[in-house]
A = this chain, B = another copy of it.
């Protein structure tokens, strides 16, 4: 990667932080709704353990996904765009090389 893909200006860091936090909040809100829905629909013990497995997987996934180190952000944003937790509009202001890389990776 060239420098504009790996170095983050102060302005870019602010944009990244806002986008990062917003996507995280959206994912958590969606997940809480899904957990409530799944819990409402528990009728037998297997459903309850399925909810437990679901929470285990999501917790592991979320713990790993939101890596806010500068060197990871391009990949994190690409994943968030792919999962529709973030739109490219929310990354307005990042260097064009960063945006291009995020778009390309998000389509893989």
State the A residues within 8 Å of B (CB). Answer: 28, 31-32, 35-36, 38-40, 42-43, 45, 48-49, 51-52, 55-56, 59
Contact = CB atoms under 8 A, between A and B. Distances in A.
Query: How many copies, total?
Result: 2
A42 B51 CA distance: 14
Contacts of A52: 52, 55-56, 59
B36 A51 contact: no
Given A35-B42, A52-B55, 16 more contacts: A28-B45, A28-B48, A32-B43, A35-B39, A35-B48, A35-B51, A36-B40, A36-B42, A39-B39, A39-B40, A40-B40, A49-B59, A51-B55, A52-B56, A52-B59, A55-B55
